[in-house]
Every structure is written in structure tokens, then in C-alpha cells.
A and B are shown apart, each in its own frame.
Chain A
Amino acid sequence: MNFKIPHGTGIYFLEALCVASAIHNFKSYLSTSTAIIFTDSENTVDMFNSFHTTPPYNPILTSMVNEIVEYSYDICVLHIDGDKNDVADALSCGQFDCAHQLVPDLSIEEFSPPQDILLSIRKFLPPRNALGAS
């Protein structure tokens, strides 16, 4: 991966960031503007359905809305149980061999999350030295 996840971000941020990244990448993978995204994170589903979240996560939503408006996407984020989403579950744990076993011809590629989100959230994070990072 050619980016660093900023310090101080939790799993909720990363799951929501993944959904936003999926939306940003639609234009290169999909020919249609209508799509459903499944996630096992209930918080993320709530966030994308209510369009409401706390200030630190807000840049994820505003970035997604910019994409939806610009490309006229019709997107729905729905919940799926983790055990029914085995490929994504394996990938999220870094178990790429396991994911290949489930889908032998699976192609795994790297991606960069939307940079506008990473830039926007920096101001909400504690300073690096506050976390003891050098």
C-alpha cells in the first residue's frame, strides 16, 4: 500500500473508509451507476444510510456525496453477517491464501483510499508526539 493510515484511527474509521473507497473506485470497475455495497459493520451501514456521523468521520461522508453527485450514482449500503462474507472477511484479516482457497481465480490488487478523506481527517487526530510516535 502506498499510504499510511494516520495514527489514532480505529476499526470503524477503516471500515467506513473501505466503503468510501469502493464508491470512489466504481468508475473504473463498473459500467452501471447503480450498486449495492455489503459490509459487516453495523455502524458503517447506519452512517451511510442516515448520512449522519460525528465530526472526525464526516469527511468520509462528504467525500462520498461529492462522488455520488458528480457521477449520479445510486448507491445502497447494506449489512451482511461476517461469516456469510467469507472472502472479504479473509482479506480484512490479511489471510490472502484463505481467500484464494475460497475463490481460486480471485485477483487481489492494491488500492489507495481517497486522498481527500485522509487529508481532511488529519486535523481531527491528536498530534503525533502526543501518541509518542517519532
Chain B
Amino acid sequence: MNTIDNSHHIDCCTCFGDSASAKTWIDLNACVLWIAVFIKLIPDLFAYSDDTFSFDFESNMSWYAPYQKFLPAKQVHLLLLLDELGIPYEEKKQVFGCSIKIIGFDVNTKNMTITMTPESKAELLEKIQTFISGLRFTLREFQSLTGHINWSFNIFPLLHPSLSNIYHKIASASHPLQFLWMNNNMKSDLQWLSHHFYCLEYF
């Protein structure tokens, strides 16, 4: 909601990048999921930001008329709710199968594994290396790093201790553009993290 000259305007294209738009989005999506779980009684629904996902048995398929194809029953149930509420979505994002990407991870129900793709692993390792060899970074850059690493903890929960010293350091800063110096403890934590990243596929 933007107020210009005392008249209120709803900004439908709330720009991502500030914390308020994320909060608005989560508030809205939480309401939709609440309806899905408690009114439509769709079981085992999981959500991570704007990704909603679940599982179903291979034999439990339903016909979804708008796409003229069979989809897992729970998925159809959720899409019908989005249709009812008038929430738009793209067909190419409504995927299912034994091996699909969920929040950037490869989830494979045949092998029962969740893995990071080699590309996303390499990308994160490169980012970590930049911090290990750098001297100082802004609070916003540190937050971007910790956010990225935190995402990988979905696969590697054991590596949580690698952020202890960084969290301790950035807790003292408040301005997004404030520079913070890397110290030896932060570097050795990140080196420890990189070492385990190289060795582990998942844990």
C-alpha cells in the first residue's frame, strides 16, 4: 500500500528486495496454506517461501481439466483451490515425478536422496572462497552469504556451526552498507565448511 497525496494505492507489483514485500507475501501465502490444510484438508503440505510441495502415491492421480492431463491428486486439489481463490500460476512450474527440483535441490524418491546440483554447489563454494580471501564486506553482503549458506543447511544440517562466528560478528552491525572485517575465526569456520562441502554429497 503506497500513500501518495493522501490517496492510497495498492502496488500489485511489490518489488522484491525490501523486507516488507517478503513479509506481505508470507502473510498472504500462510493464509492460502491455512485454507488448504484446514478447510480443504490437503494432508502433508510443505512450504518454503513461494514453493509448495508434497508427495503422493504413483497410483493416486486425478484429472486436471484446464491442463487436460493427470496430476497427483493432492496437486490437483491445491490447484483447484488456487483457481477458486483466483491466484494465478504457471503451468511449467506445476511439476511432479520421481526426481524433481524443490527449492533448488534435486529430490529423488527412487534413491531417497536430496542433493545439491554440482553447479549450485560450485557456485556456493566460489562465494565462500571470495569471503575467505577477502578483507572486508558490507553487512548486506554478509547477510547474502549467510542466507545462501543457510539454504544449503537443508542438505547439510551438520554444518550449522560454520556460521557461529559470522553471526556473532554481524549481530553488532545495523546499517546494511556498513563494512565489517573478516577475522581468523570466521575464515577458519568457512574453510571448515568448504572442506566438508567438498567431501559430502549429503548428510
Contact = CB atoms under 8 A, between A and B. Distances in A.
A58 B167 CA distance: 12
Interface of A is mostly: helix
Contacts of A123: 185
Given A54-B168, A55-B185, A61 B161 contact: yes
Interface stretch (B13-21, B64-72, B98-106, B195-203): B195-203
Interface stretch (B3-11, B29-37, B76-84, B152-160): B152-160
A79 interface: no
Nearest to B153: A51
A53 B164 contact: yes
Contacts, number: 39
A69 B185 contact: no
A53 B167 CA distance: 10
Given A51-B157, A51-B160, A52-B160, A62 B165 contact: no
Interface string B173-191: 0000000000001000100
B14 to A, nearest CB: 32
A53 B168 contact: no
Contact-size category for A: 10 to 19
A51 B149 CA distance: 14
A74 B161 CA distance: 18
B192 interface: yes
Interface in B58-115: none
A68 interface: yes
Contacts of B157: 51
Contact of A55 (B158, B159, B168, B196): B168
A22 interface: no
Those 3 A-B pairs whose CB atoms lie nearest each other, nearest first: A51-B160, A61-B161, A58-B164
Interface of B: 157-162, 164-165, 168, 185, 189, 192, 196, 199-200, 203
8 contacts: A51-B160, A52-B160, A55-B165, A62-B192, A65-B159, A65-B161, A68-B158, A69-B203
Interface of A: 50-55, 58, 61-62, 65, 68-69, 123
